[in-house]
Amino acid sequence: DTAVSQTPKYLVTQMGNDKSIKCEQNLGHDTMYWYKQDSKKFLKIMFSYNNKELIINETVPNRFSPKSPDKAHLNLHINSLELGDSAVYFCASSQGDRVHEQYFGPGTRLTVT
């Protein structure tokens, strides 16, 4: 009965590869987010989708492409991975713009070697 789930939990890959991280929520929310937490534990929003439509797109390289096939899913695809992409990526969801009531997933630790 996990509320927000992400797969995989850990991802180790080499520079230049393309990888995807999946996120699913069963809370019935219509807004989903991707955050990046760097080595200093600072969380920064990357993208947000509401009803499958992109509503927030922070200054993120074009190599990152979110995809929302439906309201319950928001996947993150990363092309040509770089060392600086190593971080923990968190998915979150909320209802509407109630961003202060968002629920976070467990995170995906991405290590690029």
Partner 1 sequence: KNQVEQSPQSLIILEGKNCTLQCNYTVSPFSNLRWYKQDTGRGPVSLTIMTFSENTKSNGRYTATLDADTKQSSLHITASQLSDSASYICVVFIEGGYQKVTFGTGTKLQVIP
Q: Are 47 and 66 in contact (CB under 8 A)?
A: yes
Q: Which of 44, 61, 80, 82 binds partner 1 (CB under 8 A)?
A: 44
Q: Are 18 and 75 in contact (CB under 8 A)?
A: no
Per CB under 8 A, does 106 bind partner 1? yes
Q: Which of 55, 61, 79, 82 binds partner 1 (CB under 8 A)?
A: 55
Per-residue b or e along 45-65, where b marks 16 or more CB atoms closer than 10 Å to that residue's CB: bbbbbbeeeeeeeeebeeebe
Per CB under 8 A, does 43 bind partner 1? yes
Contact set with partner 1 (CB under 8 A): 4, 31, 40-45, 48, 50, 55-56, 90, 92, 97, 99-101, 104-107, 109
